[in-house]
Amino acid sequence: MPLRSILTLATLLTLSVTTLGCATVATPAGVATAPPPSVNHATPPRALTGARHVHRLDFVVSTTDPSKPAVSSSYTVNLEEGEHGEVRVGSNVALSSVGSSVGPVSQARVDVGLSLRFGYTMVGDDLLLHDNLEMSSADDLPSIRKIAAAGEAVIAPGSAAVVVTSVEEPLSHKRYQVTVAATKLR
């Protein structure tokens, strides 16, 4: 059998074996082969499990300070059921200088602002939203003020926005409130 036919046969055997999920393939000496494609068996293909829902989540974060007018910010995220989303808004501020007179000087830095992490699962036609809110500020360095809350809320798609988190700072009496409305996309 000519060498070209042997190489073609070996390539066909390699391709057919790797598509079946086998990783060990005998090839003729001197013939380079690509590694088999990796297969993730942890998550079944969508065709077997069915498509998951996708919703648009409209968040409104309101801050009420007794001495100032209320401020609110809106964030919209499209998210698939079972996945995790995140909204992060803020600044990266310098805390202090670290170093020696001989070496380079570096500054310790920290992120401050809003961090909102969330995900949802379907419960019937409703969403069970899992949310994590963290608000931090560095107004009085070197002190950093932080407030955090985590919880769950049931949201009916297409209905009015639901309050999912409402927290008040004990010293300043600032109130942070997060509302969410959901719209089914798929």
Domain range list for the chain: 3-39, 49-184
Average pLDDT of 81-108?
Answer: 79
Cα distance between residue 111 and residue 61, in whole Å = 19
* Predicted confidence (pLDDT) at residue 6 exceeds the cutoff of 70: no
Given a cut of 80, is residue 164 above it in pLDDT? yes
CA 68/CA 184 separation, integer angstroms: 36
Residue 126: beta bridge partners?
123
The pLDDT of residue 10 is: 44
Copy the structure tokens of residue 38.
């990796």
Average pLDDT over residues 6-18: 42
- Higher-scoring residue by pLDDT: 110, 100: 110
Q: What percent of the chain has pLDDT over 70?
A: 67
Instruction: Provide CB contacts within 8 A for 64, sequence distance 6+.
Output: 70, 174, 175, 177
**166 pLDDT higher than 80:** yes
CA 149 to chain centre: 18
What's the whole-number mean pLDDT along residues 10-29? 42
Mean pLDDT of 52-57: 94
The predicted pLDDT at position 97 comes to 59
| Joined tokens for residue 146 | 């932080």
| DSSP state for residue 42 in the 8-state scheme | S
Helix, strand counts (H, E) of the chain: 2, 8
Band the pLDDT of 52: cuts 50, 70, 90. confident
Q: Which amino acid is at 75?
A: Y
Q: Are 180 and 59 in contact (CB under 8 A)?
A: yes
| Better-scored residue on pLDDT, 72 or 106 | 72
Which residues are registered as beta bridge partners of 160? none
Given a cut of 70, whether residue 62 has pLDDT beyond it is yes
pLDDT per position as a tens digit, 119-159: 999 999 999 999 999 999 888 777 888 999 999 999 999 99
Instruction: Tell me the pLDDT band of 7, cut-offs 50, 70 and 90.
Output: very low
